[in-house]
Every structure is written in structure tokens, then in C-alpha cells.
Amino acid sequence: MPISVAIVGSGPAGFYTADALSSSGDAVSIDFIERLPTPYGLIRGGVAPDHQTTKNVQKKYEKTALKEQVRFFGNVEVGRDVSLAELRSMYDAVVLAVGAPRDRALGIPGEDKKGVFGSADYVGWYNGHPDFRDLNPNLNVAAAVVIGVGNVAIDVARLLSRSADELAETDLPEYAERAILDSPVKDIWTCGRRGPIDAKFTNVELREMGKLSESVPLVKAEQLPDSVGELPERDKRLKERNLETLREFCARKLDEKPKRVHFEFYAAPVEILGGDRVEGVRFERTRVEGGRATGTGEFFDIPCGLVIAAIGYRSDRIEGVPFDDKQGIVPNNDGRVEDGLYAVGWIKRGPTGVISSNRPDGVTVAEHIHNDFAGGAKGSKPGRKALEKLLAERKARIVSFADWKKLEAAESEAGGGKRPRRKFTTVRDMLDYLDRNRN
């Protein structure tokens, strides 16, 4: 009997696991259980709409999805349509690949004011994720503050700064494109609580900020150190490149372009200001000692009507599994959680790393499964047949991979040639489309 494996979540970590398992030569039957009707996790719902080449990785994932032993159960949520305990009773191995979909809290007064968003929600909105398509952020503001200096902060600042021409070849939903283009925003502040050398953004992403047609990046020369200091060789090269780019930005002129992205370092947010709605952010100036930011007791305010906190993510607690609340992950030993239960990707490691960082997780867990089931020889649970029976009893509306291909073709057609696609942004619209196009 093949080893039956359920992979919960169809983002990069889930796909790298399926790829490693299905290439192992073992007799395995692999089922993706995905809460959305659409596959690919943050490739679809996180990666920026103006970075389409990054999304091309999904073509590789598709090859895995189309393998004989792989099945996609879209629109099936663990915790809603089937419990984890049920899955574990039906499958030899269950792999958690559910990512880290929630925003970390800032933990400062005023963060619940209107106009303050976390990047998970805000990025989900501009990417047409059904959970966030009704977020409706008010972009009718003169200034915005982005908290954090990682790559997500850069994505958010860049998308707010793009021109109509630059947005014309993206897959932004129409509502988000309209809101961005109608926005009178002129100043976008991207704020790091530590210094430029500690910033998490990578150089390609930083340099892109200097090439936008309607926006200029600005950096205060006095915030840049003379050198990056003592660092391991690889880090040193990367940080030196960032420092060089930031120096180039220092020479840019305030009035060069209609919009400005200000990089503000040594600025720790301490309070969101305003009444019901945000009117500004109060920061404490910091100094960095031993890599840690320490408040100097000097405070300053940046007036703004929109705040996006791009300060990282956390996973949801999954019923029936231990959860490390502090790190926001499922505790595991190199991907092993309990007998027959494994974790990969952001639910395993926490919310850092690029797409390819998830590949080793998948390879490792595939090896664990091989070793834990008699060298890949012995499965004993029914897997797919039992799941199909249970979901039929519950009248769950399963979206298959063939269904997804129909949705994908419709989105691509709606893109009209220039755009890669116009997305469906509600589950209802996706299911209605499939109902109208049964054959």
C-alpha cells in the first residue's frame, strides 16, 4: 500500500515537500488540502504584483501538481471542513505547510486606530486575497508611514509610489489600482528602529527604489555610518552594497519627482497619534548598541493618514497541535512534530526567508517520511479515499486542480494581454464561475 500523505497548505513549502516526495521513487500518494480555491500561497497572495517574474516559480509547482500521484483539494480548510485529528486518522503522514498568515502586533498605544494596517492584511488587499479584498484602506492621504525596513516594507512603499504606466502590467486588482492611482500621497516614510546596516531589505529591492519614474528615495547622510564595521565576509559584502546604494540616495533631490520615499533610521515607533483615525506616529530616536536599539529619550512625530506596519508575521494556532506562542510556530525537531505529523516552511521556522529557503524543509521532511515508513515501503492508512468520502458526506465544495486551471485561464483572459491576469477576488465569484463552466 502506498504511503498516504496529506500536505496542508499549497504554498512553496508544501510544493517543495510534494516535489521531493514524488521524486523519491517511493510509492506515495500525495494530497494537498488548501483552504483557498487557488494554489501557491504567498506566491499569489504575497509576492508583489509588479514582480511577475518572481511568480514564474508557480510553473514549476504546476508540474508537481500534475503528477499522477498528486491531488489538489482546494477550498478545503483544516479546522473548518476537516479537523487535523481526522486527517491524521486517515493519512499515514500529515505535513503542516500552512505558513504564517497573521500580522505581528506593534504593541504600542493607538495601533487599533482607523488607518493603521498590518502588512499581511494590506498586502493581501492589494493582491486580491479573498480574506482582505474588502479591507478598503483609505489612501486619500498626503503622507503614509511604513514601519519596518524589510523587503515587505519596501514592497509596500514601492507599490504606493508607482505611476499608472508602471502599474499597467501588474496583476493588481482593479479596486487597488484605482485606489493607488487616485491617492494624493506625496510622502512615504519607511522607518527602521535600528540603523541602515541592520536593515533587512536586500540590495536588488533597495536599488529598485531609485529607478521609479514618479518617486525619489531620500536618505539623511548623517544617518549613514562610514563603514559597515566588523561582519562575516558574506554579510559584509551585502551590507556594503546597501550602504553604497543608500549613499547614492543621499545625493537625490527632494523635488526631483512628484513623490518621495524617505528612509528614516534609528526611529522606534512608540505611539500612533490621532483621534478615531490615525493622524501621525510618534517615534523615539534610538542608538544601536551591540545590535540592539536603545531609546535616547528624544521623541519626534511624523504626521500621516495611513500607517502600514511591515514588522513580520505569525502563524495561527492549530487545534490539537502544540504551539510556541512566543515564536508563533509549531515546535518541531527538524520538521518532525509528533509521530506521523511534520511541519515545513514558515509554520516550522518562523516568517523569514525567500521562496527557495523553503526547499530544504521539504527535502528533509520527505526524507523523514521515507525513514519513518520502513524505507518508503509501508503505508497502512486509506488516505484519499477516506477524505473524499468524508468531504462528500459533509457536502464540501472541492475545487480540483483542473478547476483551478479553468480559473487561471479566465483570469489570464481578463488580463487582456498586457496584464498577466485580473484575479477573482472572492471565493463566491470563483465558485460561481466554475458552476457556469462545468463540462
Contact residues toward ligand NAP (CB under 6 A) are 106, 147-153, 155, 192-194, 198, 200, 205, 269, 310-312, 351-354
Q: If DSSP states are collapsed to H, E and C, what string results for 314-352?
A: ECCCCCCCCCECCCCECCCECCEEECCEEECCHHHHCCC
Question: What is the distance between the alpha carbons of residues 170 and 419, in angstroms, rounded to a whole number?
Answer: 6
The answer to whether 253 and 265 have CB atoms below 8 angstroms apart is no
Site size for ligand FAD (CB under 6 A): 33
Query: Which does residue 10 bind out of ligand FAD, ligand NAP, none, counting CB within 5 to 8 angstroms by kind?
Result: ligand FAD
Q: Which is nearer to ligand NAP, 78 or 123 (CB)?
A: 123
Q: Which is nearer to ligand FAD, 98 or 160 (CB)?
A: 98
Pairing relationship of beta strands 215-219 and 259-264 according to DSSP bridges:
parallel
Question: What is the distance between the alpha carbons of residues 423 and 129, in angstroms, rounded to a whole number?
Answer: 9
Question: What is the distance between the alpha carbons of residues 389 and 128, in angstroms, rounded to a whole number?
Answer: 32
According to CB under 6 A, which residues from 77 to 116 bind ligand FAD? Answer: 77-79, 97-99
- To ligand NAP, the closest distance from the beta carbon of 55 in angstroms equals 11
Find the part of the chain contacting ligand FAD (CB under 6 A) among 74-82, 109-117, 224-232, 367-375: 74-82
- To ligand NAP, the closest distance from the beta carbon of 242 in angstroms equals 13
Q: Which is nearer to ligand NAP, 92 or 155 (CB)?
A: 155
Nearest in space to 117 (alpha carbons), one of 60, 83, 156: 156
The answer to whether 281 and 271 have CB atoms below 8 angstroms apart is yes
Find the part of the chain contacting ligand FAD (CB under 6 A) among 9-17, 138-146, 216-224, 281-289: 9-17
According to CB under 6 A, which residues from 112 to 171 bind ligand FAD? Answer: 123, 152, 155
**φ, ψ (nearest 5 deg) of residue 21:** -65, -45
The answer to whether 34 and 74 have CB atoms below 8 angstroms apart is yes
Query: Which does residue 274 bind out of ligand NAP, ligand FAD, none, counting CB within 5 to 8 angstroms by kind?
Result: none
* Residue 402 burial class via C-beta count within 10 angstroms: exposed 0-12, middle 13-18, buried 19 and up: exposed
Q: Which is nearer to ligand FAD, 81 or 111 (CB)?
A: 81
Residue 213 DSSP SS3? coil
* 17 contributes a contact to ligand FAD by CB under 6 A: no
Q: Which is nearer to ligand FAD, 41 or 195 (CB)?
A: 41
Residues ≥6 apart with Cβ < 8 Å to 400: 71, 72, 73, 74
Q: Which is nearer to ligand NAP, 198 or 372 (CB)?
A: 198
Query: Which does residue 33 bind out of ligand FAD, ligand NAP, none, counting CB within 5 to 8 angstroms by kind?
Result: ligand FAD
**Residues near ligand FAD (CB under 6 A):** 8-14, 33-36, 41-42, 46-47, 51, 54, 77-79, 97-99, 123, 152, 155, 345-346, 353-355, 357-358
